[in-house]
Amino acid sequence: MVCMGNICRSPTAEGVLRHRLDAAGLGDRIGVDSAGTYGGHAGDAPDPRAQRHAARRGYDLSRQRARQVRPEDFERFGLVLAMDEDNLEALARVRPPGVGDVRLLMTFAARDGLPQEVPDPYYGGPEGFERVLDLVEVACDGLIEHLRREQGNFRG
């Protein structure tokens, strides 16, 4: 999961996906991590607002720490998911040639009418963090279904 600073959207997506994979019985079979295309927050905990809103829905982000995406991430993870087009383009610039599958997270959202990007809530109010959670939850559910289809041996 990748956003710009790795303090709002991508740690939220990491926390939601981990939680939902565990609930589906797949948590020990699929590795999940998050990073940012910008390294200025490296070592920082997720934004307190992101943590607070996530906790209200049962997701614990408190142990996560921001880091910058590295070229080896594309080899380590079969799928690298960006929150928006800007970060998708930034990933394309650091991705080693021919390595990894890079997409927008929202391509896995199964509902019509949803945006293709997860908006950055950093400069907004509480509703932005709730919107991120709403979108990420739908996309993560679709992602889990995709993983089950692609890897027929995953049974939850």
Please give the order of strands across the beta sheet that includes 101-104.
Answer: 35-36, 2-3, 79-82, 101-104
The pair of structure tokens assigned to 28 is 């020990």
What is the amino acid identity at position 77? F
Active-site residue flag, 9: yes
CA separation for the pair 3, 91 (Å, rounded): 10
Q: Is 112 a catalytic residue?
A: no
> Could you tell me where the beta strands, DSSP code E, fall in the chain?
2-3, 35-36, 79-82, 101-104
In this structure, are residues 84 and 3 in contact, taking their beta carbons and an 8 Å threshold? yes
Catalytic residue among 20, 120, 140, 141: 120
Write the CA distances from 8 to 23, 130, 154, integer angstroms.
23, 11, 29
Catalytic residue among 9, 18, 33, 140: 9
The catalytic residue among 3, 8, 18, 47 is 3
Does the annotation mark 120 as catalytic? yes
Question: Which residue from 57, 66, 56 is spatially nearest to 11, judged by alpha carbons?
Answer: 66
Catalytic residue numbers read 3, 9, 120
